[in-house]
Structure 1
Amino acid sequence: MSTAPAPRDAASASGPLSRSLFIFSILYGGMTCIAGVLAFKQVALGPLAVEAGIFAFLMLVVISSTVAQTHGQATANRLVLFGFIPLAVSVILIALVLSLPPSDKMPAENLSAFETVLSQTPRIMLAGPIAYGVSLLLNVKIFAALRGAAGDSGVGVMIRGAIASALSQSVDTLIFITIAFYGEFPIGSLLAGQMLAKIALSAVLVPPLIILLVKLARRLDGPPATAR
C-alpha cells in the first residue's frame, strides 16, 4: 500500500502553495540557520561522538525527501536551492552583529561565549554552504532515483530514505571536513568517526521521520483532486 499519492510538482503548478509545502518550507529555512549554531556542541551517543548540528541537518534531509515524495523531485530541488536564502541572510546578520560594538553592560564572559559560537574561520564559512548544496541535492536525486527499485510502500520509502541519507551525509562530511580542516591536522579519524555516526543516525532516525512527515503532508493537504 502506497504511503502517498503520486507526487505533484507544486513548484510548477499555478495556484496557492499547498499547506504541507508551506509549513515544510518554513521549517526547512529554520533548520538551515540553526544547524551551524548547534554544531558547536559535541554529543555522546553511546560510543559515537557527533556534533549536534547533525540533528538539524538530518531534518533537512527528512524534509527534502518528504517533499520529493509528496510534491516531486523538481520541487524538492527548488526547496534546497531556496535554502541558500535564509542561510545567506543569517550569515550577513551574524557578520553585522559581530561588527557592532558591544554594550558596556554586557558581561565579558557572555560576549566571549557569543563571539566563540558565532565567529567562524573563512574556510568553515566556505565549507558549510558547499557541503549543504551538494549533499542535499544529492539526497533528493538518490531518493527519487530509487523510487522505481524500492517503490512507494512504507518500507520502500524508509529504505530509500535511509540509503539516500547515508550516502549524501557521507559526501557532506567528506566535503566539509576536507575544505574546512585539510592541512591543519590529520583528518582521517575525524572523517571516519563522523561518517560512521551520520550513517548510523541516518539508518535509525531518517526513515521513520520521513514516513511521519509524509503522513502529515497527506493530512494537511487532503486527498488529491479527482480528474474530471
Structure 2
Amino acid sequence: MTAPANEPRIHAATTPLGLFVYTLVYGGMTVLAGVLAFKQVQLYPTDLAVEAGIFAFLLLVVISSTIAQLYGEKLANRIVWWGFLPLLLAALLMQLVLNLPASPEMAGGRAEDLAAFERVHATIWRVWAAGPAAYIVSLLLNVWIFSRLRGNDENTGTISLMIRGAIASALSQAIDSVIFITLAFYGQFPITNLLIGQILAKVVLSIVLVPFLITGGVAFAKWLDSRKA
C-alpha cells in the first residue's frame, strides 16, 4: 500500500548513519558521566584519585571531535549545546523518583537498598550542578581547539588527526577538571589529591588513548556512512 501523495515522508538517508549513531551515544554519555562522577577511583599504584565520570566524559570528547572532523565545527557545537537536554531530563526524572513514595514491598523488605539509593542520589545535586558548567566550557573548548589546529586544510592525515585530538583533549579536560572538582566537591573533603589525579589522568589519557579513539571513531563513522540504507 502506497502512502498518499500529500503525506510527508521521512527519508532515512537525510542524516548520515555515523552522525545518527554518534548522536545517540553522545546523549547517553552526558547522563552517565554525571552518575559515574559520584565515585572516586584510585589511580594505582599512587594515592591519587579520579572521579569515575572521566571515562564517559572522554567518550564525549572523542565523539565531539569526530563529528567536528567529519561533519563540521558548527554541527559539533550544536550537538554539545543540545547535550544539555538529556542531562536536564535525567536530573528532573531523578528528582521525581526521589520524591515519589517507595512501594510497601521495597520499604519493608529492602529498606537498606532504598536508603542507599536515596542517600547517594539525594546528595548528588552538587555533581549535577557542577556537571553542566564543566561540560559546556570544556567541550566547546575542545571543539574550538581541535578545529583551529586543523586550519583550512580539509584533507588532514591520520598523524595530524591524532595530534590535534590529543592537544585539544588535554587542554580542555584540564580546564574541565578544575571547574568540576571545585564546584562539586569543594568543602565536602580535601580535594587536592582528587584534583591533581583528575588532571593527571585526563592529560595522560588524552595523550595515550584519545588519539587512537578519535582515529578509530572517524574510521567507524565513515564505514557507517558508506553503508546503504
Residue number in structure 2 paired with 1:19: 17
Residue number in structure 2 paired with 1:83: 83
Is contact 1:73–1:141 with CA below 8 Å preserved after alignment? yes
Residue number in structure 2 paired with 1:72: 72
| Shift in CA distance, 81/213, structure 1 to aligned 2, threshold 3 Å | same
User: For residues 117 and 213 of structure 2, what CA distance do their matches in structure 1 show?
Assistant: 32
TM-score, normalised with respect to structure 2: 0.84
Residue number in structure 1 paired with 2:167: 163
1:51 CA drift (Å): 2.0
Is contact 2:138–2:172 with CA below 8 Å preserved after alignment? yes
Instruction: Please tell me whether Structure 1 or Structure 2 has the larger radius of gyration of its CA atoms.
Output: 2
User: For residues 37 and 124 of structure 2, what CA distance do their matches in structure 1 show?
Assistant: 14
User: For residues 62 and 81 of structure 1, what CA distance do their matches in structure 2 show?
Assistant: 16
Residue number in structure 1 paired with 2:193: 189
* SS across alignment from 1:46: coil
How much identity, in percent, do the aligned residues show?
59
Is contact 1:37–1:117 with CA below 8 Å preserved after alignment? no
Is there any run of 5+ residues in structure 1 with no aligned partner, and where? Answer: 1-14, 224-228
How many positions carry a matched residue from both structures? 209
Worse-superposed segment, 65-74 or 148-157: 148-157
Residue number in structure 2 paired with 1:117: 120
Q: Which of 202, 205, 214 is equivalent to 1:201?
A: 205
1:161 CA drift (Å): 0.8
1:210 CA drift (Å): 0.5
User: For residues 104 and 91 of structure 1, what CA distance do their matches in structure 2 show?
Assistant: 25
Residue number in structure 2 paired with 1:128: 131
Q: Which of 218, 221, 225 is equivalent to 1:214?
A: 218
Is there any run of 5+ residues in structure 2 with no aligned partner, and where? Answer: 1-12
Aligned partner of 1:214: which letter? V
User: For residues 113 and 152 of structure 1, what CA distance do their matches in structure 2 show?
Assistant: 50
| Shift in CA distance, 123/44, structure 1 to aligned 2, threshold 3 Å | closer
**1:31-51 Cα deviation digits (max 9, x unpaired):** 011112222333344335322
Residue number in structure 1 paired with 2:184: 180
